[in-house]
Amino acid sequence: MRALPYADPGVPDTRSRLRFLGWLARAQWRTLVVGAFFGVVWMVSQALMPWAIGHGIDGIIDDDSGSTARWAVLVAGLGLVQALAGVMRHRASVANWLYSAFRVIQLVSRHAARTGPAVPKTMSTGEVVATVSSDSMHIGHAMEVSPRFAGAIVSYALVSVIVLDTSVPLGLMVLIGVPLLVVAMGPLIRPLQERQRRQREALGDLTALGADTVAGLRVLRGIGGEKVFVSRYAERSETVRAAGVRLAGTQALLDAVLVLLPGVFLVLLTWVGARSVLSGDIDPGALVALYGYAFFLLMPVRTAGEMAFVATRAMVAARRVLAVLAIEREVRDEVAPGATTAAGELPPSSADEVLVDDATGLRVRPGSLTMLVSDEPAFTAAVADRLGRLVPGNGVRLGDVPLDRLPVAEVRRRVVVSDPEPTLFTGSLRSGLDPYGRHDDTQLIRAMETASAGDVLETLRDGLDSMVEERGRSLSGGQRQRVALARVLVREPEVLVLVEPTSAVDAHTEAAIAGRLRDARAGRTTVVVTASPLLLAKADTVAWFDDGRLVATGSHDELMSTTPAYRRTVTREEDPE
């Protein structure tokens, strides 16, 4: 058994749905082969049962006890092989299901993480969640059925040979009748696929509505919007229910056909076989065997129908997965032709100019604590995004090297930007602070203390091992912000860019964070977007932007005394009339 999740899920073939499913199959070909082998053994042992039983009955009719005993032993042996092969087949089938489903989940999750804001801008959160939770399972189901389908094909061929050897007319009935049964189910497959697609889209819309509502639940309650949401959710639920009913109707019709057509085939086969016995063309034991074959053939036919169903559903799911994987991130590695800049050529922290924003003229000295202030906070937040290369069309240099000519992964390693509303994930506090387990408890606690988040550790019963709920719902807004600050401090990046890191904390806590942040980041470059005087008082350099232009730099005290617009922004004074 493999360890899940995968260390690396691989690079998928996204040129088409069939190529993607084929790539998944190749990635786990060993378990598919094992499953197919035991599936064939399991099916063949069942297919040989009627044959052995028929010969045993002939021995009873001929009063040959020795022959009867031998055939009875063979029947017992086939039963034992069938039982053991069934266990191994089921084990391999579950493994195939889990391996493919987990691979799809990891591919979608990794792609969503790498593309950043591009995915939520293109499709709703609910659609992505449905792709991970539902579509991955449908693809896994197809991989689970595939080995059984292989067994069904082999057993069908074996039964055909046996029946042809027993009686050519009956053998032709099997060879022609069973494919006709499968073909007869074809007209139901296309409407089934279309109704699956509609039900899947309706479910994705409902999931998206639920996810968006949970995210804004407090706002809804504050404005009394619960009734509006309940009405809208009920309406969407009714749409999902109606789509599910239509899908169930088509599925029920397919199931009915799977029972009716094999039943008709069974009656015809038994009638022809009985006439052959009466005419002396076959022995009574062969008739019993033929009747057993007719019953057995229901299994391969049902498996073929199930394969058609799950393959159709897997194709629909693959289309949804490829839709997510087709979303490209906004910031990509696009090194100009002939460029030779590599990650190892990045300038060290001792360069004359660590960060230069050509668009605004901002120059950040190495090892300094620089803070950006503007009369429009959105402008300085946009500057922070450029400094971290979070947006295309950069125009920022790290030393003498343009950021947009460097690998994105290297930029992310050396320049870390923390958003004003960072997200906390479900799991232990320790894993939230250090997802890759690279730091010890001392480093984690030191980062928490720097972020003035010691009270969070005190309120959590198990300290760093305490569980944090999704989006940090068990914490207050200020606690979430401080835990997020501690998370970026643990990484100790060469350049740290913070956007409004203390907007949700009180003045006392903000003052403590300001002093501790300066000490903790001493000697390393830190850029803070803020208009808080408590933080600005600790800055080495404050850059003041007015009307989208860098108009002044200096200490907080210097700008307070020389730049009235800066003073009004920081102190929130109103312009004199």
In this structure, the answer to whether residues 321 and 353 fall within a common structural domain is no
In this structure, the answer to whether residues 422 and 312 fall within a common structural domain is no
Residue 222 lies in a domain: no
Partners of 402 in beta bridges:
397
Q: For residue 351, what pLDDT is reported?
A: 42
Q: For residue 338, what pLDDT is reported?
A: 43
Domain count, the chain: 2
Of the candidates 431, 424, 355, 433, the one whose C-alpha atom is nearest the C-alpha of residue 394 is: 355
Of the candidates 474, 58, 478, the one whose C-alpha atom is nearest the C-alpha of residue 285 is: 58
In this structure, the answer to whether residues 539 and 479 fall within a common structural domain is yes
Residue 386 lies in a domain: yes
Q: For residue 411, what pLDDT is reported?
A: 87
- CB-CB neighbours of 86 under 10 Å: 17
In this structure, the answer to whether residues 290 and 358 fall within a common structural domain is no
Could you tell me what percentage of the chain is helix, strand and coil, using 3-state DSSP and rounding each to the nearest 5? Answer: 65, 10, 25
DSSP codes joined into one string, 214-235: HHTHHHHHHHT-HHHHHHHHHH
CB of 503 closer than 8 Å to CB of 531 = no
In this structure, the answer to whether residues 497 and 427 fall within a common structural domain is yes
pTM of the full predicted structure? 0.66
Query: Which CATH number fits the domain that encloses residue 442?
Result: 3.40.50.300
Q: For residue 308, what pLDDT is reported?
A: 84
Distance in angstroms (rounded) separating the CA atoms of residues 131 and 316: 11
Contacts of 532 (CB under 8 A, 6+ apart): 502, 510, 514
In this structure, the answer to whether residues 115 and 22 fall within a common structural domain is yes
- CB-CB neighbours of 167 under 10 Å: 19
Distances 258 to 180, 248, 254 between C-alpha atoms, Å: 12, 15, 6
In this structure, the answer to whether residues 421 and 301 fall within a common structural domain is no
Residue 221 lies in a domain: no
In this structure, the answer to whether residues 66 and 184 fall within a common structural domain is yes
Contacts of 476 (CB under 8 A, 6+ apart): none
DSSP codes joined into one string, 262-290: HHHHHHHHHHHHHHHHHTTSS-HHHHHHH
Contacts of 132 (CB under 8 A, 6+ apart): 104, 105, 108, 109
Q: For residue 509, what pLDDT is reported?
A: 92
CB of 538 closer than 8 Å to CB of 370 = no
Which segments of 319-378 are extended strands (E)? 355-357, 362-364, 369-374
DSSP codes joined into one string, 107-175: HHHHHHHHHTTHHHHHS-HHHHHHIIIIIHHHHHHHHHHHHHHHHHHHHHHHHHHHHHHH-HHHHHHHH
In this structure, the answer to whether residues 416 and 287 fall within a common structural domain is no
Residue 357 lies in a domain: yes
In this structure, the answer to whether residues 88 and 143 fall within a common structural domain is yes
- Read off the tokens for 52: 């052995």
**Per-residue pLDDT tens listing for the chain (577 residues):** 567 778 888 999 999 999 999 999 999 999 999 999 998 999 889 888 888 888 788 777 777 788 888 888 998 999 999 999 989 999 999 999 999 999 999 999 888 888 877 887 787 777 787 788 888 999 999 999 988 898 888 888 888 788 778 777 776 776 676 667 666 666 656 666 566 666 666 666 666 555 555 555 454 455 555 566 667 767 777 777 777 777 777 777 777 776 777 677 777 777 777 777 777 777 777 777 776 776 777 778 778 878 888 998 899 899 989 998 998 877 776 654 444 444 444 444 444 457 899 889 899 999 999 999 998 989 999 999 999 888 887 788 888 888 888 888 888 888 999 877 777 878 888 998 998 888 999 999 999 999 999 888 888 888 888 888 877 777 888 888 999 999 999 999 999 999 999 988 899 999 999 999 999 999 899 999 999 999 999 999 999 998 888 999 999 999 999 999 999 999 876 555 4
Between vectors from CA 149 to CA 146 and to CA 152, what angle results, nearest 5°?
160
Omega before 12 cis (within 30°)?
no
Residue 11 lies in a domain: no
Distance in angstroms (rounded) separating the CA atoms of residues 353 and 362: 10
Contacts of 257 (CB under 8 A, 6+ apart): 184, 185, 188
Residue 88 lies in a domain: yes
In this structure, the answer to whether residues 428 and 394 fall within a common structural domain is yes
What's the domain range around 166? 17-189+268-325
Q: For residue 570, what pLDDT is reported?
A: 92
Residue 275 lies in a domain: yes
Query: Which CATH number fits the domain that encloses residue 131?
Result: 1.20.1560.10
In this structure, the answer to whether residues 309 and 387 fall within a common structural domain is no
Q: For residue 349, what pLDDT is reported?
A: 43
Distance in angstroms (rounded) separating the CA atoms of residues 311 and 22: 12
